Structure 1
Amino acid sequence: MSEIVPAVDSGSEVRSGGCLCRKVRFTVTGPVDDPHICKCGHCSKRSGAPFQWWASFPMAGLEWTGAEPTWFDTYPGKTARGFCSDCGSHIAARDHGDDKIIGILATSLDHHDTDPALVPTNLNRLPEAAPWLAQPDTRHTASG
């Protein structure tokens, strides 16, 4: 079982992950950026779930240690999504022309359930969420 360990050269953390069948494996080195929940209809349709949990990492810190995922242009010419061609697990997203950031599905990381850096800090695309999902209370109350 892998651990979150400091990187030797950068002082950053190294995280490992992969797909359900373990064919696709990777490590990401660097800070977690924008851990968030996306409720858009596109993520829902592709995943079969009402939302997905994403985090971004520096592309330079990504290393495929098993097979690389199969890439599908979900937005042709704009965004590609990576998945395992054997078990179907969703792994990553990348924007064409952006070689600095890779989006990783948090649940594809080995220790997503115990890594405090992955706690979502943002809910994206709330207006597109399924209407039965609870919405955050945005009313402000005065404290007395």
Structure 2
Amino acid sequence: MSETAIVGSNPEVRSGGCLCGTIRFTVTGPADDPHVCNCEHCAKRSGSPFQWWAGFPMAGLTWTGEGGEPTWYDTYPGKTARGFCGTCASHIAARDYGDDTIIGILATALDDYATDPALVPTNLNRVAEAAPWLAQCDTRAAVAG
């Protein structure tokens, strides 16, 4: 059965991957704690003032692309590793050492991130570390424009 057919038949199965398609994955299970993180590591790695994450059960993760698993880099040595594509450098996932129950997936690495209501952020993490100008952005103008 194709990856698309599996995802289409069960809203708790989502597919995603990197920009070049070398790394693909499916996650099965409910999205946990969809949030926006403003920490320095997310900002530096992404080139953006924040990143949008959601957790999924590690047991429901399958790497399906020809590239297999991402390349992992310890952003917090011995605590947290971040996964990215070694070909196109897309950021995909994060995992904490000692917790094999959940994997953090960048929402934008999921194929249907823009239309999945389960991914709407419910929390803003590390707000004190956010770019100070971020609160001044008028999102109404961007939506209307």
TM-score using structure 2 length: 0.86
5+ long unaligned stretches in structure 1: 136-144
Deviations, residues 39-77 of structure 1 (Å, cap 9, x unaligned): 111110111100000000000000000121000111111
- Unmatched runs of 5 consecutive residues or more in structure 2: 137-145
The answer to whether structure 1 residue 5 and structure 2 residue 8 are counterparts is yes
Q: Which has the larger radius of gyration?
A: 1
If each structure's helix is expressed as a fraction of its own residues, which one has the higher value?
Answer: 2
Mapped pair 1:95 → 2:104:
no
C-alpha separation between the residues in 1 aligned to 2:9 and 2:107?
A: 19
CA RMSD of aligned residues (A): 1.5
| TM-score for both structures, normalised by structure 1 | 0.86
3-state SS of paired residue (2:4) = coil
Q: How many residue pairs are counted as aligned between the two chains?
A: 131
Q: Report runs of 4+ in structure 1 exceeding 2 Å deviation.
A: 1-7
Give the match for residue 108 of structure 1: 109
Between 1:100-109 and 1:126-135, the stretch displaced more is: 126-135
Distance 1:47 1:27 in 2: 22
Quote the sequence identity (%). Answer: 76
Determine if contact 1:35/1:122 at 8 Å carries over to the other structure: yes
1:132 aligns with 2:133: yes
